[in-house]
Chain A
Amino acid sequence: MNNPIIALLGNPNVGKTSLFNRLTNLNQKVGNYPGITVDKREGKLTKGAKTYRIVDLPGTYTLYPNSLDEQVVFNILADSNHTDYPNLVVVVADPAQLNRSIILYQQAREIGIPAIFVVNMIDEVEKKGLVIDFDKLAKKLNTKIFQTNARTGEGLEQLIAAFDEKPPLYIGDFAVPTAFNKALEEAKSLFPLHTEYATWQFLAQEHISFISAEKNNALARIRETHKLTTQALQKAESLARNKRLSMDDSIVRTQADSSKGDPTHAIDKILLHPVFGYVLFFGLLFFIFQAIYTWSGPFMDAIDEFFGYLVSEIHTRLPEGPLVNLLTDGVVAGIGGIVIFIPQIVILFLFISLMEEIGYMSRVVFLMDRWLRPFGLNGKSVIPLMSSVACAVPAVMSARNIENAKERLVTMLVTPFMTCSARLPIYIVLIGLVIPDTTVWGIGLQGMTLFGLYILGIVAALCSAWILNKIIKNTHKSFLIFELPTYKLPDWKNVLLNVWDKTSGFVIDAGKIILSISIVLWVLGSFGPGEKFNNAEELIKAEYPTLSEEELSKEITSYKVEHSYLGYIGMAIEPVVKPLGYDWKMGIGLIASFAAREVFVGTMATVYSLGDDVDIEEESQKATVLSRMRSEINKNTGLPAYNFASGISLLLFYAFAMQCMSTIAIVKKETGSWKWTLIQTGFMTGLAYFAAFVAYQLLK
């Protein structure tokens, strides 16, 4: 026999997820609902010999979806064939906003699902000066009312004990207005569902994804015949339910003057202030980026050192050969490239989870939405956009907090335009090469160029969002109607579980892609066709008999890269990159830096026979690289390879191009689609090519 399914249903910010975490402890998994990027939280609860499947449904106000998350709730509750169709729904309510939860409870009961009602955050009743008559509420809802505090575990035992009880029969609260009776009768003949209200729900839905197109069309025809719209039907229900509730308000709860002395009110006066609100928010963002940069630094260094140690151990313990090279340069480098992001992801999601838990995230949306909405973005998009200044990988992941599917997708697609820290080494080297170290009106030209590149990233992200907003259709209209939750202390269990989910999701899902690409790139750079690659050592020794061991080794490495598959691809793409002012050697750098942008400088150092372990952060080595790059001549033009025109062209290329396999992997994971990932990569690379081409042709 299958385990009974208990679904937690409730408005956003009622402590539903805290209750879920409390019920399931660590016995839970987070995934996606099939085919969509909506978090599916599911866990198990064992009581005696019985095990329950607990499903945490996305937060919703009604069964009429306004977002993809809410669509999931309707699909599960209205489709008895759904694999998650519950045996019992637990409607979780915030004591301060009981009416909204009552409507949701009524809809669930009337659609034909057994449901019980839980007033969570019961400690807030007293804090807010509320007086709730639970007996009257129980009578009104025709069910037992449970009082819980998910943070402390209060009332949970009684709630769990009720999972086996069958709630009493429920008599519908909503009487269909007579004006809609004829349409409803017609719908009933087409959909003989087990309750009249279930048929009403079908009639009032814009689209039902689990029934055939013919049936959807039949419902649309009924509405058309009776000159009805789904909005009119939904509005009629909403008005009728709210009218009845407002009449009963005095019976259900009596509220004292709760605004007096309410700290939320006082805090919001500052945090939502038209000036101070923004100042504090941007101050907090600044602090978060500083934390991502500085706090993660020692951990990243430690990870780097650990993988360096691992590489040296492999070289010491295993015999030299292709397998060791693959393990060190492909596998360990690939895994290292995944693990290195963990500190940044943990820190960013620690802040995001805390902001969500405390209740500040809703204020961020409120503050930023008006500025970002014209570009098709959401108030919450500011977090991914700004955090991608540190790194696009955790930034793309943080877009998951955006409820609207289209806004989430657009945010994920434009986030990599922002100037991430990996672009910085290339910018610094190229600016050092092609921009004179002088000042204009007291402002350094090099600094100004760097600042300009940051601004360019922001402009590219916003303009692309605006374009994508025009192209991508919206399945649900996005409105900014939400309730600001009260501020509360964070539940650390929720915070840590969220951080764990995000980190493990990245390591496992995106990690596999990063590792695979890393291995493929290793093959391309480590093998080559023909005698030149295989006999590189003999050929170089014969050509440079007087070179020292070290110099010889550098020359051989450079020669091998030139004659590897990667080198040949670099030569093959030369006609494509020539109009941008690059030669085939730079082509090799472009391909190798597909793994990560910062690889460009290191690859060029290898190609220019400076060895493959150049540390650009060390001043003396940086000077060597700069001097070598300055002296390099482009054989196509006979001019310095890194002149003003080709340098600007390269800067623009790296400003726009999607040269980061980790970002590609995470976009694939978050969109669940290679299609959008490839569209994004193609669009960014196309734009990069166009900008670099125009710049070079104008400046050469």
Chain B
Amino acid sequence: MENLTIQYVLVGIIVLLAITYLVKQGKKSLKGNSSCGKGCGCAPLTNCNTSQKK
């Protein structure tokens, strides 16, 4: 029983790490100055003001 509890705790930690990693990645990308911004492709966001539509 004790062995099983330890296993569940370890499983919980690994799963938590996986979820935290995914959430962190998502947050970082969605709020940060990511490389690809809406409306201006994979370009520096500062360039969007002067971008020309092809």
Contacts and interface: CB of A to CB of B under 8 A. Distances in A.
Interface in B1-41: 3-4, 7-8, 10-11, 14-15, 18-19, 21-22, 25-26, 29-30, 33-41
A516 B39 CA distance: 30
Nearest to A526: B11
A477 B37 contact: no
A209 interface: yes
Contacts of B18: 515-517, 519-520
Contacts of A36: 35, 42-44
Given A515-B18, A672-B29, A674-B29, A68 B43 contact: yes
Nearest to B34: A673
A321 B9 CA distance: 12
A319 B3 CA distance: 9
A472 B38 CA distance: 8
Nearest to A321: B7
A671 interface: yes
A326 to B, nearest CB: 5
Contacts of B14: 326, 330-331, 519
A353 B43 CA distance: 25
Is the contact region of chain A dominated by helix, strand, or loop, or is it mixed?
A: helix
- Among A35, A71, A520, the one with the most B-chain Cβ atoms within 10 Å of its Cβ is A35
Nearest to B9: A323
A32 B22 CA distance: 21
A321 B4 contact: yes
Contact of B54 (A406, A408, A409, A668): A406
A322 interface: yes
A311 B48 CA distance: 50
Contacts of A213: 49
Given A322-B8, A512-B21, A519-B18, A35 B44 contact: yes
Given A321-B3, A472-B41, A673 B29 contact: yes
Interface residues of B, number: 38
A681 B25 CA distance: 16
A675 B34 contact: yes
Contacts of B42: 36-37, 68, 405-406, 408-409, 671-673, 676
Interface string A504-525: 0000000011011101100100
Contacts of A181: none
A478 B54 contact: yes
- Among A469, A472, A520, the one with the most B-chain Cβ atoms within 10 Å of its Cβ is A472
Contacts of B33: 35
B49 to A, nearest CB: 7
A515 B14 CA distance: 11
Contacts of B11: 322-323, 326
A330 B38 CA distance: 34
Given A321-B7, A323-B10, A475-B51, A523 B40 contact: no
Is the contact region of chain B dominated by helix, strand, or loop, or is it mixed?
A: helix
A675 B54 contact: no
B12 to A, nearest CB: 9
Nearest to B47: A475
A154 interface: no
B35 A472 contact: no
Nearest to A211: B46
Contacts of B30: 674-675
A671 B42 CA distance: 7
B34 A520 contact: no
Nearest to A36: B35
Contacts of A206: 50
Interface in A526-560: none
Contacts of B44: 35-36, 68, 71, 209, 475
A470 to B, nearest CB: 9
A307 to B, nearest CB: 18
A35 B32 CA distance: 9
- Among A322, A471, A515, A675, the one with the most B-chain Cβ atoms within 10 Å of its Cβ is A675
Nearest to B10: A323
B51 A322 contact: no
A476 B43 CA distance: 9
A227 interface: no
B54 A674 contact: no
B15 A672 contact: no
- Among B7, B14, B30, B36, the one with the most A-chain Cβ atoms within 10 Å of its Cβ is B36
A473 interface: yes
A474 B22 contact: no
B3 A474 contact: no
Nearest to A679: B38
- Among A213, A331, A471, A516, the one with the most B-chain Cβ atoms within 10 Å of its Cβ is A516
Contacts of A675: 29-30, 34, 36-38
Contacts of A376: 54
Interface string A65-87: 00010010000000000000000
B43 A475 contact: yes
A474 B46 contact: no
A667 to B, nearest CB: 10
A207 interface: yes
Interface in A654-687: 668, 671-676
Interface of B: 3-4, 7-8, 10-11, 14-15, 18-19, 21-22, 25-26, 29-30, 33-54
8 contacts: A36-B44, A473-B41, A473-B54, A474-B52, A475-B48, A517-B18, A675-B30, A675-B38
Given A36-B42, A209-B46, 13 more contacts: A71-B44, A216-B49, A326-B11, A405-B42, A469-B54, A473-B48, A473-B53, A477-B52, A477-B54, A517-B18, A673-B29, A674-B25, A675-B38
Closest CB pairs A-B (n = 3): A672-B35, A674-B29, A673-B34
